[in-house]
Amino acid sequence: MSGQTGHTSGRRVDGSTRRPVVRTADARLKRDARHLWNMDVTNVTADAETFTCNAYLAPEGSPTLVDAGSVDGVVDVVREHTDDLDRVVLTHQHGDHVEQLDAVVDVFDPDVYADDDHPLRTHEITDGDVVTVGTEECEVVYTPGHADDHVSFVSAASLFSGDVVVHDDGAFDYGSFGRTDYPGQSRERLIESIRTLLERMPDGVERMYSGHGSVFHGDVRDVVETALSRAEQREPKYPDG
């Protein structure tokens, strides 16, 4: 996302047209939050034996896949839960998140939502947009640092955080953050992104679906705040490389 810095007013990204949103994204997310906490979400790459991101299927309402993963068999697992897939939304386009996108599109022909350009993208999303994930309406929050095109999806009940923050990984067991030691990555931008995420995340978010590690149910804000405090130390995430 070139030059994207601010929080734009929420707009609905739906189907083939984009319509202005009368309510702000924040108001939309807070409305009827009590009905959203039990959305069914399945990690379709949970049984992978090789490296991949977590790819999350929300099959109810408007079936949506958050990231596509990088291992064979994603299509088969999606088929176990739904015959239709309305959309794929991408947190970013690192290979472990998009390698199976072609296969998913070939079988289900979904719309593809992404911040950055991609040959299969049908909808550009930007900071402040509102997209549907299953039965929830999620605000798009631009969260660069780990990747220039990184976005997170935040509803009244759930956070799909991609790689900007994760519950656990090889570095920390509770509250970790995306690595920033490769060319083009930035710890400072990541820190600002986590701060932005905390500002924009509604109170009451209790489910965290991150790009790696475990799904977390509980005080998501505390996990994100813990990740921020660790990132702000500006020490190598993996001291031994």
Query: What pLDDT shows up at residue 238?
Result: 83
Identify the residue whose tokens are 């807070």. 30
Query: What pLDDT shows up at residue 33?
Result: 44
CATH topology of domain 11-231: Metallo-beta-lactamase; Chain A (3.60.15)
Closest CA to 111 of 133, 138, 129, 142: 133
Q: Is 119 left (phi over 0), alpha (psi -120 to 50) or beta?
A: alpha
Query: What pLDDT shows up at residue 164?
Result: 98
Alpha-carbon dihedral sign for residues 219, 167, 36, 26: positive
Query: What pLDDT shows up at residue 23?
Result: 33
Query: 54 and 42 in contact (C-beta within 8 Å)?
Result: no
The encoded tokens of residue 55 equal: 């790819």
Cα separation, 230 vs 217, whole angstroms: 21
- Which residues have C-beta within 8 Å of that of residue 92, sequence separation ≥ 6? 115, 116, 146, 147, 149, 150, 151, 162, 163
pLDDT in single tens digits along all 241 residues of the chain:
444 444 444 677 765 433 333 234 554 444 444 444 579 999 999 999 999 999 999 999 999 999 999 999 999 999 999 999 999 999 999 999 999 999 999 999 999 999 999 999 999 999 999 999 999 999 999 999 999 999 999 999 999 999 999 999 989 999 999 999 999 999 999 999 999 999 999 988 999 999 999 999 999 999 999 999 999 999 988 877 5
Query: What pLDDT shows up at residue 76?
Result: 97
The encoded tokens of residue 74 equal: 């994603």
Query: 12 and 18 in contact (C-beta within 8 Å)?
Result: yes
Closest CA to 210 of 51, 48, 29, 56: 56
